[in-house]
Amino acid sequence: MRAKIQGRVYKFGDNINSDIIIPGRYLIYVDRERLAQHAFEMLGEGFPDKLRSFDILVAGRNFGCGSAREQAATAIQGLGIKAVVAASFARTFYRNAINDGLPIVECPALAAAVKEGDEIEIDLEAGKILFSGREFVFPRMPDSVRKILELGGLAEYLKSQLEQQSNAT
């Protein structure tokens, strides 16, 4: 995980559910590129390919609501998206994003201020987003949770924990 994430924004509205992000019939895949081929396809023509030219998704309230499917975060990463900023997240998506190593930021003010194509820079370490010369602050994650994200997700975190344990014994 990079401390600073910069790029072009694609903008979604409220209540983007995880069935939209990745329909249930594709959960047979685990590979992120394979999942990404079907991400957001329920939204119709042009999806998901038009998202590939953007770097950061910005959404309204309750992003990732619905099913607890972890592949929602995986599929977004497969599209080359580097972070998601939303006014708020559903709790299952929030956890899954961290566990999948996808940086997420809750920042209602930024979500309201940007539109498609805008350039923003997220500074995860400082807890702020730069947009058009303005600073938007957001609360930093607890250190224990950030650690998972920094290592690239829960599987990598677990692996490092297990390695530490076996080295200790």
Partner 1 sequence: MTIAEKILAAKSGRSSVTPGEIVEAYPDLVMSHTATWRSAGVMQRVGATKLYDPDRLAIVLDHISPAKTEKYAADQQTSRNFARKNGVTKFYDVDAGIAHLVLMEAGHVVPGDLIVGTDSHCTIYGSLGALGTGIGYTEVASVWITGKLWLKVPESVRIVLEGRFPAGVYAKDLMLHLIGRLGADGCSYKSVEFYGGSAADLNVSERMTMTNLAMEMGVKCAFFPPDAKTAEYLRDKLSDPARYHPVYADPEAAYEQEIPVDISKLEPMVACPHEVENTKPIGEVAGTHIDQAFLGSCANAKYEDLVVAAGILKGRRIHPGVRMIVTPGSKKIMLEAMNSGVLQTLLESGGMVTNPGCGACAGDGGTLSDGEVCLSTANRNFIGRMGSNKSQIYLSSPATLAASAIRGAIADPREFLNR
β-pair partners for 56: 9, 83
Encoding tokens for residue 22? 């990745």
CB of 18 to partner 1, least distance (A): 8
Minimum CB distance to partner 1 smaller for 53 or for 160: 160
DSSP 14-42: S--BHHHHS-GGGTT---HHHHHTTTTGG
Question: Taking phi first (over 0 means left), then psi (-120 to 50 degrees means alpha), and beta for anything else, what does residue 7 get?
Answer: left
Residue 164, classed as helix, strand or coil, is: helix
Minimum CB distance to partner 1 smaller for 65 or for 120: 65
CB of 49 to partner 1, least distance (A): 16
CB of 8 to partner 1, least distance (A): 26
β-pair partners for 129: 122, 136
CB of 7 to partner 1, least distance (A): 25
Minimum CB distance to partner 1 smaller for 131 or for 153: 153
Residue 168, classed as helix, strand or coil, is: helix
Minimum CB distance to partner 1 smaller for 28 or for 133: 28
Minimum CB distance to partner 1 smaller for 113 or for 154: 154
CB of 93 to partner 1, least distance (A): 9
Residues that bind partner 1 (CB under 8 A): 15, 17, 19-20, 23-25, 27-28, 30, 41-44, 61-62, 65-70, 73, 88, 90-92, 95-96, 99-100, 142, 144-145, 153-155, 158-159, 161-163
Angle at 74 between CA 154 and CA 2, to 5 degrees: 65
